Amino acid sequence: MAAKAGAAHLVRNVALELAPYNIRVNAIAPGFIVTNIGGGWLKQAGVQTSMAAAIPIGRIGTTEDLKGLALFLASPASGFVTGVQISIDGGGSLGMRHR
C-alpha cells in the first residue's frame, strides 16, 4: 500500500508540473492480477480461491480487466483526466468482503 500511495503522490505532482504543456499523467493501480510476475503464483487454483475470498467482487483479476481502462486513458475520451491513480482491484482496496 505504501508504494501505491507514493505512486499516487508522484502522479499528482508530475501532472501539476506537466499540465501547462498539455501532458496528462495518470496511473493504473492493479490489485491481484493473474500474470507471470512473481513466478505466476496467482495461476494456482488454490491461491486464487483463497485470495478471491477476501475480494469484494469475489475473484482475482485478469489482464483483460486492465485493457479497457488503459484504452480509455490512452484515448481522447480521457482528455480532461489528469493526476489520478485509478484502482482496478475488484474492490480490494475497500476492505474485506462480508459473507
The model's pLDDT over 48-74, given as tens digits with 9 standing for 90+, comes to 899 899 899 999 999 999 999 999 999
- What pLDDT score was predicted for residue 48? 86
What is the Cα–Cα distance from 81 to 62, expressed in whole angstroms? Answer: 24
Note whether residue 75 is domain-resident. Answer: yes
Structural domain that includes position 71: 2-92
Average of per-residue pLDDT across 20-39? 92
Q: Is the pLDDT of residue 22 over 90?
A: yes
Output b/e per residue, 82-93; b: 16+ Cβ within 10 A.
bbbbebbbbebe
**Domain count along the chain:** 1
Are 81 and 26 a contacting pair, CB within 8 Å? Answer: yes
Q: Is the pLDDT of residue 97 over 70?
A: no
What is the Cα–Cα distance from 63 to 70, expressed in whole angstroms? Answer: 11
- What pLDDT score was predicted for residue 40? 82
* CATH number where 8 lies: 3.40.50.720
